Amino acid sequence: MLKTYTYPKFEYRRPEDLDCTTVRRHPVLIVGAGPVGLALAIELRLKKLSVIVIDEDNTVSVGSRGVCYAKRTLEILDRLGVGDRVVEKGVAWNVGRTFFHEDEVYRFDLVTDPDHERPGMLNLQQYYLEEYLVERAQAVGVELRFKQQVLSVDAHEEGATLEVQSPDGRYQISTDWLIAADGARSPIRRALHLDVEGHVFQDRFLIADVLMKAGFPPQRWFWFDPPFHPNQSVLLHRQADDVWRIDFQLGWEADPEVEKQPDRVIPRIRAMLGAEHEFELEWISVYTFQCRRMAQFRHGRVLFVGDSAHQVSPFGARGANSGIQDADNIGWKLDLVLRGAAPQTLLDTYHEERAYAADENLLNSTRSTDFITPKSPISRVFRNAVLELAEHHAFAQRLVNSGRLSVPACYTHSRLNTPDLDAFAGHLTPGTPADDAPLPDGSWLLRQLAGGFTLLYFVDPGRRVDAEIAALTALVDDDISINLVLVAAIGAARSRYDAHHGTLYLLRPDQHVAARWRQMDLTRIRAAVRRACDLH
Amino acid sequence: MPLNLEPNFHEPGKHYLHGFSPGDEFYELLIKMHRPLSEAESIKVNARLILLLANHIGDLSVLREAMTIATQCATQE
Ligand SMILES: Cc1cc2nc3c(=O)[nH]c(=O)nc-3n(C[C@H](O)[C@H](O)[C@H](O)COP(=O)(O)OP(=O)(O)OC[C@H]3O[C@@H](n4cnc5c(N)ncnc54)[C@H](O)[C@@H]3O)c2cc1C
């Protein structure tokens, strides 16, 4: 029981399938109501598909897990309709401070570029995120089946048939497309005998959530080898409700059962915070982690998303953040395939784009882990030399690696992109997620994107473009509809997009840039949409 | 030219999305190089590496400055 949070008990309803003589068939079934399964369910439901989510539990994530959600994730949550709640409850931060022994050696600021609606990072206990997602899923009409465990899976060419255990008995259910959002241990992955390759890191971390009223600013603090926890690292984050999360590195030899005892944990925290801070323990656990991914995220009609497909070390907060981007990537593709508007091969690009992202996450989190936990005396010598030099020298500060925080992957090599014909400056090359910018009326650019394909049309204020708009509006009636959004080519929007009067950006439903032009050409725009849908 | 103490890792023809990436790549190469070595071997490899790089830099004034900074750090310990 936590002092600051009461775990909700979601309602179990007796599934109708128990009373059916035939096995019911559904278009999409998601197994797992973690952040990733829920995000995808909401996305598909907003696209008017009927969606079922099955979860063996009837509450949210128990204890302390995910903390930090990145700007890109918040932007996705905005589109799903939970961003405001998450941001209101959470603790926004941009500054990270790193200490070695007693001294501060490095400080970073995530938002080098101001004028984004969302902060660089937001801290919130994972259970809040999940609770908000469940409520949103229910509000938009996702069918959530709690307390139902998937026992077995039969995957075949037309879909999959599952055996499910409910409190009132077993039933079978069939689906055209099965989404395995069933977490790191993924029973579906196991049932299908699929491999996940990588390794366990030989280290243990103690997690403590403590309740205290402390005046520390909302920043990420990371210590290498501090006097209060010699030879190891410590991480401090502020979460909602005055709950602070502390991660103590313990080393591989530590005994988790012993380390979890409050009479062991409390002195550690007291040594860290100083005697003047009163605190209460909310949660203690010990974890180890893995860095690994499946070779293929798509197996016919079974698609793996989130932790079931890939797991990373927590340094960099890339777990849930990348899982939610998986959902963002697959949602619109599945929608188009289910409607018959795009070929099934579009779903292969889910694997291509997100496996690329997973590799980037694995690379960065493995490098961080190797820096934080040197595996040999010589690598500890180098690590400490970097930290010593970092106190005075910029080059060494850049090398300090206490976690490279989650940033979205840019699918610059994706076959869904249309290569540039015109010259553009800046970073928004095809494959990159659209950047936010403030608009003259006080709203934000990303808020104008409704969810389908969107054409951003940049116009100098005051110039008449009636004929162009009339022509572009015709695209709304295409088979794959394209929304038109006019953007004043001024300020941050102009500079970030390197926009002139008449510049056009075609954005995919997940807001990644598909193509861009300096001049309007409907044939080219339509060709780029077809390409982004893998239609040839 | 004085000793460059600003971030300087890069590779011709390679484009990096994040400022930390080339430095992280260098660090990974360094640690990977040492991974199979014993401690005694590592010390020898480090010595050879310093000699190779020092010759590449060549300019004694730069090397002198680097030596000063490297030993300053050590005396602070
Ligand atoms: C200590 C720690 C710190 C972390 N910090 C961060 C962070 O700061 N930022 C971040 O982004 N990520 C972080 N993560 C990672 C994050 O918690 C996970 O990446 C995230 O929970 C993955 O979401 P998911 O939906 O893929 O899987 P899960 O959240 O694991 O959900 C899987 C769901 O599937 C259900 N399920 C499993 N098997 C079955 C079955 N047979 N039948 C029915 N249902 C089933 C489970 O009940 C569960 O609800 C952290 C993780 C840890 C452990």
| DSSP label at residue A426 | S
pTM of the model: 0.95
pLDDT category at B75 given cuts 50, 70, 90 is: low
Element (H, E) at A439: none
Q: Which CATH class is domain A410-536?
A: alpha beta
Give the Cα separation of A301 and B52 in Å (integer): 55
Q: Do B20 and A398 touch (CB under 8 A)?
A: yes
Give the Cα separation of A534 and B10 in Å (integer): 35
Pick the CATH number of A16-89+124-195+291-363 from 3.30.750.80, 3.40.50.2300, 3.50.50.60, 3.30.70.20: 3.50.50.60
Map out the domains of chain B as residue ranges: 37-76
DSSP output for A295-335: S-SEETTEEE-GGGTEE--STT--HHHHHHHHHHHHHHHHH
At residue A201, the pLDDT reads 81
Map out the domains of chain A as residue ranges: 16-89+124-195+291-363, 410-536
At residue A450, the pLDDT reads 85
Q: Do B42 and A389 touch (CB under 8 A)?
A: no
At residue A406, the pLDDT reads 85
Q: Within 10 A of A467 (CB to CB), how many other CB atoms are there? A: 9
- List A residues 371-400 in contact with B (Cβ-Cβ < 8 A): 371, 375-379, 382, 385-386, 388-389, 393-395, 398-399
CA of A514 to the centre of ligand 1 (A): 31
* A410-536 and A16-89+124-195+291-363 share a CATH fold: no
Measured between beta carbons, which residues in chain B are less than 8 angstroms from residue A404? Answer: 18, 20, 24
ipTM above 0.85, yes or no: yes
- Name the percent of chain A lying above pLDDT 70: 100
- Average pLDDT of chain A is 95
Element (H, E) at A179: strand A169-180
Question: Across residues A28-54, what is the average pLDDT?
Answer: 98
pLDDT digits (tens, 9 = 90+) for A323-342: 999 999 999 999 999 999 99
Asked if B40 reaches chain A (Cβ–Cβ under 8 Å), the answer is no
Q: Is the pLDDT assigned to residue A111 strictly greater than 80?
A: no
Measured between beta carbons, which residues in chain B are less than 8 angstroms from residue A375? Answer: 31, 35
pLDDT digits (tens, 9 = 90+) for A398-423: 999 999 988 899 999 999 999 999 99
Contacts of A366 (CB under 8 A, 6+ apart): A291, A313
Q: Mutation test of the interface with chain B: which of A378, A381, A384, A405, choosing the one with the most B Cβ atoms within 10 A?
A: A378
pLDDT digits (tens, 9 = 90+) for A441-484: 999 999 999 889 999 999 999 999 999 999 999 999 999 999 99
Q: Within 10 A of A420 (CB to CB), how many other CB atoms are there? A: 14
pLDDT digits (tens, 9 = 90+) for A139-153: 999 999 999 999 999
Give the Cα separation of A236 and A424 in Å (integer): 41
At residue B76, the pLDDT reads 55
pLDDT digits (tens, 9 = 90+) for B2-14: 999 999 999 998 8
pLDDT digits (tens, 9 = 90+) for A257-278: 999 999 999 999 999 988 888 9
- List A residues 227-256 in contact with B (Cβ-Cβ < 8 A): none
Tokens 């030399």 map to which residue?
A: A385
- Name the percent of chain A lying above pLDDT 90: 88
Q: How many angstroms away from the CA of A270 is the closest CA of chain B? A: 27
Q: Do B42 and A394 touch (CB under 8 A)?
A: no
Give the Cα separation of A352 and A350 in Å (integer): 6
